[in-house]
Amino acid sequence: MVARTKPRTSNTLEFSADIQALKELLEIPFQIGGLAGQNNSGQTAQHTLCCAAKDPWDNEMLTNNPNVTPITPTAPMAANTHGGRAKCLQRLVRLDLPVPKTVALSFDAVHRIAAGDLPDIEKILAEFPEEALLCVRPSSQDPDWGGPGAILNIGMNDGRFVALGDLLGSEAAAALYARFVESYAIHVARLDPDMFDEITTEGQTALSQSLRAYEDEADEPFPQDRATQLSEVLRSMARAWEGTSARLLRQAKGAPADAGLGLVVQEMALGVGAGVSENGSGVLQLVSPSSGLPQITGRYLSQSQGRDALGDDAEALYLSCDPRGPSLEELAPDAYATLIDHTHQMRRKLREEMQLEFTLQDGVLHILDGVRVPRSNQAAVRIAVALAEDGIISREEAILRVEPRALSELLHRQVDHDAIRDVIGAGIAASPGAATGRIVFTSNAAQAAAARGEPAILVRRETTPEDIRGMQAAAGVLTERGGITSHAAVIGRGMGLPCVVGAARMRFHPRKKQLISEDGRVYDEGDLITLDGTAGEVLDGAPPLLEAALDDAFRQLMTWADEIRDIEVRANADTLADAALAQRFKSQGIGLCRTEHLFFDDDRLTVMREMIFAETSSDRAATLERLLPIQRQDFTELFRMMAGTPVTIRLFDPPLHEFLPTDKAGLRQLAEAVGLSVTDVERRVEAMGEHNPMLGMRGVRLGITVPEIYDMQARAIFEAAIAMARDNTVVVPEIMIPLVSTKREVELVQSRIAAVAAQVRAETGHEVTYKLGVMVETPRAALRASEIATHCDFMSFGTNDLTQMTYGLSRDDAGRFMSDYVQQGVFAEDPFHVLDPDGVGELLEMGVARARASKPDVLLSICGEHGGNPESIGLCRRLGFAYVSCSPFRVPVARLAAAQWAIRDRLAT
């Protein structure tokens, strides 16, 4: 019944681990139904498919027509011209698997059909037996982009009903016919599906009612001509793909606007007839889609077609022997064994874990389709590693097959993919992971909830450094304002805290202690919500969560990545807990320790406030003497934990007013500490406010005007390093000056730090060795890098502020309009998320070139959040940076992305 073409053995896909094989992987990634390359203009191949003939349908035979061609081992087709399904079927044919006869239509052909230009339908039908029923399935580049549903049993009409009734029985034939009538009516003729609701009978009676309903609704009899049926099915599916709704839907899933669709016309293997084990359909795969572990999964349903077995039918059988019920292995052991053998063969030859769709017709096995096994991110890692360990793919290819961002999901709890999601709001996915807790509106309330052992979601308009304690106590953070590099986002990522920022379409009422969802539901303090920081969504209630999964496969993949990458990855770590995470995720040191976060603990904050209120330099120095031993202990413990790896400590950066209280209780407490009236304290606090504090007295400006802070910090660093030396651990601290713009700023701070080093050396008798560098955060610093570099051992580009100042954007407020800018093409991506290669990137290039021109051995790096972005790491490698530094939870992402860039560069040379 089924016609197949025996493939040439020379075309059988064999694995090769040489460079050429990996180049082909990059140019046309082997993902069945996966993304394929684009041409230089950015358009998909549907607009570049070459047709030798003036008329694309003008061929005597279909064999040599690239637009409409039978699928044979040598047919001219590719995933980016005919879609993943068509290309996969060709690969199955090359493996000599029992694939029914199939004709593939290219993207260009389908585009023409949508415009009303049909191919020669009779020539297509001539490829199939006259009595064969057909199905049409979509073949897009990426299955995630969707597409119209398959239409089965094309060619079914009154005459075929009679013939199949004699062969299969009237009830089975009636079921086939009725299924086609209903599918054709709804998806092709676009009739109201409700017209079939009143048909509750089965068999021939149901068929008669379906035909009558069609005729009444369409004002014409159901079409009987197979060519007419096929023509209308092709036209309907082509037009559905190019409709506005379908285009917007797939664009939301990442597809280009002009993404093409192919179609495959395949001879039906009916799957109905006498015998439970001789006729039916099912799907089979060799691994679990959720874990990636070896596990034969799938279902088989007797007397069924397509993917019916995956429905809720209670009569569906298990595939392998199972104590819960009957299985195909028991009822049809030979067919089962053949299926397992075919699936293993596909795994070896196609170098992928495949899901096989099959039909049994009178005991004969037919392979209808093969697609990549749908998989979670955890399964994707395990599958890639297993294929490499089995010698099916190389380690390099395994590394390339895992999306770096997917690792973030493995490091945090996630909302179960199968959970019902009641979304009440959405914002920017600022820090991945999921958390359920009760709403609180203040940091004190979050700490109180933590003391009771109750998870809390801290809800704020925006967070400030004062909220650090509350964030540490909370299970997650939700803010009304902010962007990808806002305070809540940066600190949340560093702490591994699920965070959604910029949820401006929700209404925040902190005084009323109410949060109002986008659809108007009111949530009071104490109500239960869930944050999905991976998706940027706020959910009602407590959907089930999945725990983080760092298994052996993850560790093996990262080991391979570390062997290949050629750029170091450090972590941004502000606390000992951050440093412990950095060690856990195998960072190669700390590239940014923001010391200001150490001053918000209760035992330090009051002293810090007293220092701010001190009138003279000597008073400030005396007050800071009380912080010196605490800060020294901080650095000693940090150096000890990092075990001799590099530690870059950024000197104090934020404006001082951030440390001052704003509530009455805090003002009274400060008044008592400094011996002033509350009115005087309020006046002083107000006077210290700035119109634009992020561009005001902060960073090096503060270090020059209030030098006692930097003096104390430098002494604490040197004394901590000496303490480590006494324990036989050599530490060479790297001291970084923030927010420099001029050479003179560096000279002034450099001289004071050198003076402190000399004092410590004289007092202790120990040599003080350190490195001094700057954080390049202003455009001027990048432009004047040649003169600044002469005073530095290293320069680290702080791209959060550099992006902010280059664009003139507030990173805390840009989230309000950023999505509109990206959607309308103003920005290709959020520049706070993906490093802008043109504007900010050009500043980096200029800064790098000018710094190296004046000081060739200066160490260059990046320490903004872009350091954990895969695309941005490529630019950092190209510029020759020694390392990137990012939040601890993004370190594995950066390690994998760096390895992928190294592999790509090797393949390009």
Q: What is the 3-state secondary structure (H, E, C) of 303-362?
A: CCCCCHHHCCCCCCEECCCECCECEHHHHCHHHHHHHHHHHHHHHHHHCCCEEEEEEEEC
Cα 724 to Cα 549, 615, 627: the distances in Å are: 36, 36, 20
CA angle, corner 33, sides to 27 and 39, nearest 5? 35
* Strands of 151-154's sheet in order across: 68-70, 102-105, 261-267, 134-140, 151-154
CB distance 579 to 561 below 8 Å: no
- Sequence-ordered list of residues with C-beta below 8 angstroms from that of 826, at least 6 positions apart, any chain: none
Residue 576 CB: number of other CB atoms within 10 A? 14
Residue in 768, 742, 748, 647 with CA at minimum distance from that of residue 703: 748
Cα 461 to Cα 39, 567, 689: the distances in Å are: 45, 38, 20
- Sequence-ordered list of residues with C-beta below 8 angstroms from that of 14, at least 6 positions apart, any chain: 349
DSSP of 654-715, one letter per residue?
A: S-GGGGS--SHHHHHHHHHHHT--HHHHHHHHHHT--SSGGGSS-THHHHHHSTHHHHHHHH
The one-letter code for the residue type at 301 is L
Cα 615 from chain centroid? Answer: 52
Q: 110-144 burial by CB neighbour count: b if 16+ within 10 A, else e?
A: bbbbbeeebbebebbbebbeeebbbbbbbbbbbbe
The one-letter code for the residue type at 699 is G
- Three-state DSSP class for residue 119: coil
Burial of 528 (0-12, 13-18, 19+ CB in 10 A): middle
Written as six digits, the tokens of 384 are 């890639």
Catalytic machinery residues: 487, 863
The tally of CA atoms less than 13 A away on the side-chain side of residue 407 is 27
Give me the helices (H) in 169-282, please. 170-187, 203-218, 226-241, 244-252
Instruction: List residues bridging with 479 in a β-sheet.
Output: 460
Written as six digits, the tokens of 37 are 């390359």
- First and final C-alpha spacing in the chain: 51
- Three-state DSSP class for residue 228: helix
Written as six digits, the tokens of 737 are 């000056």
Q: Give, as one character, the DSSP assignment of residue 392.
A: S
